[in-house]
Amino acid sequence: MIGGQDTFPFIRGLRQNADDEHNRFAPVILLSAHSASDKVAEARDCGINFFVAKPISPMVIMKRVLWVAKNTRQCLETPSYAGPDRRFRNGSPPPGVPERRRANAYRVEQSA
Amino acid sequence: MSDIRFFTPENRLAAAIDDPSGMLVDDAIAEADRQLALAAVESARKIDESLELIYRLSAQAAPGRLDALYQAVREVAGLAGLAQLTELGRAAHTFCSLIDLGQAKGTLPQDQIQVNVDVLRLLRRPERFADAERKALLDNLNGVLDKARRTAAA
């Protein structure tokens, strides 16, 4: 709970409040003693930057704050989600676009 | 035309950290540790209130019991670290995971609830037990949780 308001609606409201562009992508670190399985996905989908499980120490919190501050990850906005881009790995190229290695090999064959 | 917008927002937090003002990191952490130590007594009092509620809830079969039990046990898990009751916090966290499984199924065997409640009661006074005994208590709870997970997955 944050100020009597449920946490996830609060964060979702912050992220989707287009009238407050200055604050809507402020970093959010969520602390929780335990997260029920159905809440983990909801936490991810509401646009938090970092999830920290208790027990915590000031040093742990400081490390997480520094991580969020130094993080250069882009944000993204879609009709259903606003927040940090959560993808850690690049997926395959878009449909119809060959992987660079294969495309290069094809060009070498053509020029030979 | 895609409805997805990628962008890099202004990172005011990074700018604030680089700005040479306020407290030094070491001083801030030392002050936070001092404030947390002051909160230990109040945290222990709240833990005891939650434990009393857990003892009552574990002894009755009222509708919605698992939800109320989960909230009370999570309160213990959240505060135990502040009260220097680390193992109690671990036991509460394991109990939360067990209740979470039970909520998914709609029921949780009473013997599994009882063993968790008994361990919470014991670990509220960790000084009464040797390290190996406290570890054995936690291992026992993890065994109960593993068994419940296997049953749920079967």
pLDDT at A85: 87
- Give yes or no for a contact between B58 and B117, defined as CB atoms under 8 angstroms apart: yes
- In this complex, which of B4, B9, B79 lies closest to A78 when CB atoms are compared? B4
Grade residue A23 by pLDDT with cuts at 50, 70 and 90. confident
Nearest-by-Cβ selection for A85 from B3, B6, B103: B6
Q: Report the Cα–Cα distance between both ends of chain B, in Å, rounded.
A: 46
Range picked from A15-24, A73-82, B141-150 for highest mean pLDDT: B141-150
Domain ranges across chain A: 7-88
Peptide bond between residue B109 and the one before it cis (omega within 30 degrees of 0):
no
Residues of chain A whose beta carbon is less than 8 angstroms from a beta carbon of chain B are 25-27, 32-34, 36-37, 54-59, 61-62, 65-66, 68-70, 72, 74-79, 85
User: If you measure CA to CA, which chain A residue comes closest to B13?
Assistant: A69
The structure tokens listed for A8 are 């996830």
Contact check, Cβ <8 Å, A37/B100: yes
Of the two residues A80 and A93, the one the predictor is more confident about is A80
Single pTM value for the model: 0.76
Q: Are A74 and B7 in contact (CB under 8 A)?
A: yes
Is the confidence at residue A5, as pLDDT, over 80?
Answer: no
pLDDT band at A89 (very low <50, low <70, confident <90, very high): low
Strands (E), chain B: 5-7
- Residue B99 pLDDT: 95
Domain A7-88 coded CATH 3.40.50.300 = no
Q: Which residue has the higher pLDDT, A91 or A43?
A: A43
Q: Note whether B3 contacts A79, CB cutoff 8 Å.
A: yes
The pLDDT of residue B1 is above 70: no
Token look-up 């209130």 returns B49
Q: Mean pLDDT across chain B, nearest whole number? A: 92
Give me B99's structure tokens. Answer: 């209740």
Q: Does residue A93 have a pLDDT over 80?
A: no
Q: Which residues contact B71 (CB under 8 A, 6 or more apart)?
A: none
Residue ranges of chain B whose CB lies within 8 Å of a chain A CB: 3-9, 11-14, 16-17, 25, 28-29, 32-33, 36, 70, 73-75, 77-82, 86, 89, 92-93, 96-97, 100, 103-104
| Tokens 């046990």 belong to residue | B73
For residue range B69-99, list pLDDT tens digits in order. Answer: 999 999 999 999 999 999 999 999 999 999 9
* pLDDT higher than threshold 90 for residue B60: no
The predicted model gives A21-31 an average pLDDT of 88
Yes or no, beta carbons of A62 and B28 under 8 Å apart: yes
CB contact at 8 A, B126 and B134: yes
Q: Which residue of A has its CA nearest to B80?
A: A55
Predicted confidence band of residue A4 (pLDDT cuts 50, 70, 90): very low
Q: Where are the alpha helices (DSSP H) in chain A?
A: 7-15, 37-45, 58-70, 100-111
DSSP letter string over B120-136? HHHHTSGGGS-HHHHHH
pLDDT at A52 over 80: yes
Q: Does domain B40-153 have CATH number 3.40.190.10?
A: no
**What is the Cα–Cα distance from B136 to A111, expressed in whole angstroms?**
69
pLDDT digits (tens, 9 = 90+) for B109-141: 999 999 999 999 999 999 999 999 999 999 999
Q: Of A85-99, B23-37, B102-116, B125-139, which has the strongest mean pLDDT?
A: B125-139
| B contacts of A86 (beta carbons < 8 Å) | none
Count CB atoms within 10 A of the CB of residue B122. Answer: 17
Measured between CA atoms, the residue of chain A closest to residue B77 is A33
Q: What's the rounded Cα separation, in Å, for the pair B69 and B53?
A: 8
Confidence (pLDDT) at A3: 44
User: Which pLDDT belongs to residue A91?
Assistant: 60
Q: Give 3-state DSSP helix, strand, coil % of chain B, rounded to 5.
A: 75, 0, 25
